[in-house]
Amino acid sequence: MIGTARYWREIPQRYRYEAARCTACAHVAFPPRTLCAKCRGRAFEPCTLAGEGVVETFTVIRVAPAGYADEAPYAVGLIRLTDGVRLMAQVVDCDLARLAIGDRVRVEFRRIRQDGESGILCYGYKFVPAT
């Protein structure tokens, strides 16, 4: 179970890809954080992640955790966005047998999971082939 409040507070990141750019060193934190991981600066300006990138690495989950089993097999990868930020996300609508490091992908809004049959529906970003 994810629960409502815990899900709700991440909405700016999951729906709109809102990140924070350190005003001192320009490092982009996603999700935003209190201290810059690079320079320990505390001042950030909001920014939005690029919607495209390349697959830096990935796997195909065959044995899924509780709540995700219905969608297995599915690919999860680390995506290096064109703005340099790296994030983890599923790669969907792709041929799992042909997915490769270096593939270009772009973001789409998808349902990520649901809290059982009667709980909340949880949305967020996934990536699809950029072709």
Partner 1 sequence: MDVGIAGYGAYVPRHRIKVEEIAKVWGADAPAYKKGLMLREKSVPTPDQDTITLSVEAARHAVRRAGVEPRRIGAIYIGSESHPYAVKPSGTVVAEALGMTPEVHCADFEFACKAGSEGMFVALSLARAEEMDYALAIGADTSQGAPGDALEYSASAGAAAFIMGRDRLVAVCEATYSFMTDTPDFWRREHQFYPRHAGRFTGEPAYFRHTAACARGLMEKSGTRPDDFRWAVFHQPNGKFPMRVAQELGFPRAKVEEGWLCPTLGNTYSGASPLGLTAVLDVAAPGDRILMVSYGSGSGSDGFIWRVTPRIEEVRDLAPRTRAQLEDHPVYIDYGTYAKFRGKIRKPCE
Partner 2 sequence: MREVAVIGVGMNRWGELWEKSHRAIWTEAALEAVEDAGVDRVDAVYVGCMSGGLFVGQEHLGAMLAGELAMGPIPGVRVESACASGGLAFRQAYIAVASGAHDVVLASGVEKMTDVDGAAATYALSTAADQEYEGYHGVTFPGLYAMMARVHMHRYGTTRRQLADVAVKNHAHGTMNPLAQYRDPVTPEQVMESVLVADPLRVLDCSPITDGAAAVVLAPVELARRLARAPVVRVAASAHATDTIALADREDLAWLGSTARAAEQAYAQAGVGPSQLSFAEVHDCFTIAEVMVVEALGLADRGKGGEAASSGYTRLGGRVPVNASGGLKSKGHPVGATGVAQVREAVVQLRGQAGERQVRGARWGLTQNMGGTGASSVVHIFQGEGRR
By CB under 8 A, name the binding residues for partner 1. 11, 15-16, 66-67, 70-71, 92-93, 108-112, 116-117, 121, 123, 126, 128-129, 131
* Min CB(53)–partner 1 separation in Å: 17
CB contact at 8 A, 126 and 108: yes
Closest to 86 (Cα-Cα) out of 59, 111, 55, 43: 55
Q: Helix (H, G, I), strand (E, B), or coil: what is residue 28?
A: strand
Among 114, 122, 128, 129, binds partner 2 (CB under 8 A): 122
Pairing relationship of beta strands 86-91 and 52-61 according to DSSP bridges: unpaired
Among 54, 78, 120, 128, binds partner 2 (CB under 8 A): 78
Among 38, 42, 86, 111, binds Zn ion (CB under 5 A): 38
CB contact at 8 A, 44 and 34: no
* Residue 99 structure tokens: 């997915």
Using the rule CB under 8 A, is 116 a contact of partner 2? no
Stretch of 18-26, 46-54, 60-68 contacting partner 2, by CB under 8 A: 60-68
Q: Provide the greatest CA pair distance for the chain.
A: 46
* Min CB(66)–partner 2 separation in Å: 4
Question: What does the alpha-carbon distance between residue 64 and residue 126 come to, in Å, rounded to a whole number?
Answer: 17
Residues that bind partner 2 (CB under 8 A): 2, 6, 10, 14, 31, 37, 56-69, 71, 74, 76-78, 86-90, 101, 112-113, 122, 124, 126
